[in-house]
Amino acid sequence: MFVPALVEETCCAVIFTTVGPLTGRPVTAVFVIDDSGGTLPNARNCRYGAMLWGLLVSAMPLAANATALAADPATPDREPIRIGMSAAFQGPSRQVGIELYRGIATYFSEVNRRGGIQGRPLQLIAYNDSYQPDRAVDNALRLLGSDKVLLLLGFTGTEPVTRVLPLLKKYDSDHGLMFFPFTGGAAVREAPYDGLVFNLRPSYRQETEALVGELVAHGHQRIAVFYQSDSFGRSGWGGVRKALTDRHLQLVGEATYARGTMYTGSLDRQVAILQSAKPDAIICIATYAASAAFIRDARRADLNVPITTVSFASLDSVVSLLRQIGAEDQRDYLQQLLFSSVVPDPKTSALPAVKEYRALMNQAAALPPTALLDANYQPSGYNRTSLEGFLDAKLLVAMLNRLGKNLTRASLAAAVVGMKDLDIGLQHPLSFQGRNQASDEVYFDAVNSNEVAGTSAVNEAKK
């Protein structure tokens, strides 16, 4: 039971989930508040709708059990635990934001259905940043400021996250923490922000190290890199370069593309540049849209060497786009592709966490509200991005449960460092002892023309 706070009129989705006082069944509602200065005609109505709904839900137990509620000294504790998220829900990288949100929200709904954390429901406040760093900073400011979230969760993209980091420092005295950003960038893993950001996934350096190791082990020595012209691309480029240097090899070629490149755009120039370097393998440090466009244009130019991607280019999204264009072109674009991932195969893994993910996604997979959701977006089935969001949420809930009733930014900041043996149903229990990254598992997925062949190899990357 809670009364939702009246948040600023901005593009915001608020999930309210609670246990119905009469039926004992979960009740969930999502309200949307617009950020475009009134382009959504019902924004104000939604805002007041959210208030009304909150009041309604609050009033129901009062009517049913007024005495018990009045006597309950813990009532103030039942305020929602606000969690803030900023991600790309629109634009070329929208699939990442939407699927990550789905995974997080699905698990939060389940937790709320079971009674929340110490009786307090989880409330996910999400804003769209369209993968734009400045908008991510604005969103973080709003979340940590007026929205008064307990923590930031699931921020997406190296560049937006890197720009938000100084803000965490600014809020250091107020213990503004970021959990599980969707990036393998080094900036969130090293000083001076290592005490302010906590990661689940391994770094791009670990992913590229594993990829280079795999390629070299299969006899590839002329490796080129295709990367996004920003800090995400540079992080991956640096990882590939280091992994090659460690093996006494050098990059034979490199080409960049601009952030925001759409799948429909041509990457012929980049393909030509890399083709002239005569590589025998290419590593993409790119979004799923740019990765798919590059693979498409490379194959059309008869550049048929193995192409690999890192986890940010969601395998499922790349394969979906290539399968679609393959059907149109009567061509198989899914040959010689290798993807690195940071989560197990969502469709086949027998790990308890993945089984639970599949069960809950089948039961009641959440969707972002319509204001955040692109009208043309078709939700994917099981996929690595929503699984990662699900695991993020699961780990966060495990951590919050350990804190007991004293859920404040300060107590969280004090307790999170050193947390260990957090078993969320993966291969091993997770820990934050002496580091700010819980997992080092890098998975490889090979793809054939019919389907994703599944996670065929699991490497624990170098720590």
Partner 1 sequence: MSDLRLFSKALLGIYLLFAVIALSTSALCIHTVDQELSREYQSNSEQIAKVIADASVDVLLNRDLSVLQSLVDQYLSIRSIKYIYIADENGEVIVHTFVPQVPAEIVATDRRTTASTHRSLTGIGSVIEVVSPILQGRAGTVHLGMDAGLIGLKIQSAVGREIYLISVLFIGSILLTLLLIGTAARPLHRLLSYQRQLAGEDDGFGLTPAEVTRLLERRDLAGDLARLAQRSPSPPQTNRADPL
Q: Which residues bind partner 1 (CB under 8 A)?
A: 158-159, 162-163, 185-187, 190-191, 229-235, 237-238, 254-258, 269-270, 273
Instruction: Count CB neighbours of 410 within 10 A.
Output: 11
Q: What angle do CA 347, 352, 353 make, to 5 degrees?
A: 75
154 and 161 Cβ atoms separated by less than 8 Å: no
Residue 177: helix, strand or coil by DSSP? coil
Selection from 163, 159, 85 nearest residue 128 by Cα: 85
Q: How far is the CB of 190 from partner 1 (least distance, A)?
A: 6
Q: How far is the CB of 412 from partner 1 (least distance, A)?
A: 26
Q: How far is the CB of 411 from partner 1 (least distance, A)?
A: 30
Q: How far is the CB of 254 from partner 1 (least distance, A)?
A: 7
Nearer to partner 1, 234 or 299 (CB): 234
Angle between helices 158-170 and 133-144 (to 10 degrees): 40
The one-letter code for the residue type at 44 is: R
Q: How far is the CB of 178 from partner 1 (least distance, A)?
A: 16
- What is the residue-wise DSSP string for 317-378? HHHHHHHHHHHHHT----TTEEEEESS--TTT---HHHHHHHHHHHHH-----TTTS-TT--
Peptide bond into 192 cis (omega under 30): yes
Joined tokens for residue 75: 């009532």
User: Burial code of 169-196, b = ≥16 C-beta within 10 A, e = fewer?
Assistant: eebeeebbbbbbbbbbbbbbbeeebbeb
Residue 117: helix, strand or coil by DSSP? strand
Nearer to partner 1, 104 or 211 (CB): 211
Residues 6 or more apart whose Cβ sits within 8 Å of residue 229: 256, 257, 258, 259
Q: How far is the CB of 242 from partner 1 (least distance, A)?
A: 10
**Calpha distance 334→361 (Å, rounded):** 27
Nearer to partner 1, 123 or 206 (CB): 206
Nearer to partner 1, 139 or 270 (CB): 270
Nearer to partner 1, 276 or 324 (CB): 276
Q: How far is the CB of 238 from partner 1 (least distance, A)?
A: 5
Joined tokens for residue 177: 């923490």
Nearer to partner 1, 340 or 386 (CB): 340
Q: How far is the CB of 235 from partner 1 (least distance, A)?
A: 4
Element (H, E) at 445: strand 441-447
* Residue corresponding to tokens 């600023």: 8
